[in-house]
Amino acid sequence: MARLAQTAGLTDVQQEILSTVRDFVDKEIIPVATGLEHRDEYPQAIVDGLRELGLFGLMIPEEYGGLGESLLTYALCVEEIARGWMSVSGIINTHFIVAYMLKQHGTQEQKDHFLPRMAAGDIRGAFSMSEPGLGSDVSAITSKAVKEGDSYVLNGQKMWLTNGGTSSLVAVLVRSDEGHSPRRRPRRRTGR
């Protein structure tokens, strides 16, 4: 049994969700993961199954059509999915990051438009952070968002777009000049 699943005091709902996900992983992921991995094939049938289970809306509030579950429930499910195939947990995690950003920081219009469709799995999120020459070092990001009128113009270059081939909504991490100065990198000490 996975470590988080041993958490004391799980509710009946959490246990039921976890059991459903565990069964799905055992029956639908583990038997095919190695073959899909070796063929470098996108696990569409698995993703469709996760969609049917409602996992794309696991933490999206009920008012937007999601299940409104806790971060613990989410972590329990991701741990189970990763047990079957780590790459599939990345599909869910990236979607969650975008949905969470919208829930916490989106306008009401964005929430109303995107979150119900994300909860249903009709829209899946991708996250664009990495840049050439710096990978995932967010403190060194050089891509910028410059406000022009009521819009922003993005300038820069990104790579390795997680979920990029199958998503329809992309969150892009960039710098802006609004309210924050770039962090300074710590000086490296040279030994004497």
pLDDT at 3: 63
Residues 24 and 119 in one domain: yes
pLDDT at residue 49 above 90?
yes
| Residue 131, beta-bridge partner list | 135
Residues 130 and 89 in one domain: no
Cβ–Cβ contacts within 10 Å for residue 62, how many?
11
Structural domain containing residue 61: 10-123
pLDDT at 135: 81
CB 163 within 8 A of CB 124: yes
Domains: count for the chain: 2
Residues 114 and 141 in one domain: no
pLDDT at 177: 76
* CATH for 129: 2.40.110.10
Q: What are phi and psi of 8, to 5 degrees?
A: -70, 145
Residues 40 and 104 in one domain: yes
Task: Using only the alpha carbons of the chain, give its radius of gyration.
Answer: 19
Tell me, what DSSP letter sits at residue 142? -
pLDDT at 181: 55
Residues 43 and 96 in one domain: yes
Cβ–Cβ contacts within 10 Å for residue 12, how many?
7
Tell me, what DSSP letter sits at residue 6? G
Residue ending a domain, among 105, 123, 141, is 123
Residues 110 and 153 in one domain: no
Residues 155 and 101 in one domain: no
Under DSSP, is residue 126 helix (H, G, I), strand (E, B) or coil?
strand
Q: Is 61 exposed, middle or buried (0-12, 13-18, 19+ CB in 10 A)?
A: middle
| Residue 146, beta-bridge partner list | 153
Task: Give the list of residues 6+ apart from residue 147 with CB closer than 8 angstroms, or none.
Answer: 176, 178
The pLDDT tens digits for 163-182 are 888 888 999 989 987 655 55
Q: What average pLDDT score do residues 12-38 get?
A: 96
Residues 103 and 165 in one domain: no
Q: In the chain, what percentage of residues exceed pLDDT 70?
A: 90
Sign of the alpha-carbon dihedral angle for 117, 122, 123, 126: positive
The pLDDT tens digits for 63-116 are 999 999 999 999 999 999 999 999 999 999 999 999 999 999 999 999 999 999
Q: What average pLDDT score do residues 130-146 get?
A: 88
Residue ending a domain, among 60, 92, 123, is 123
* CATH for 65: 1.10.540.10
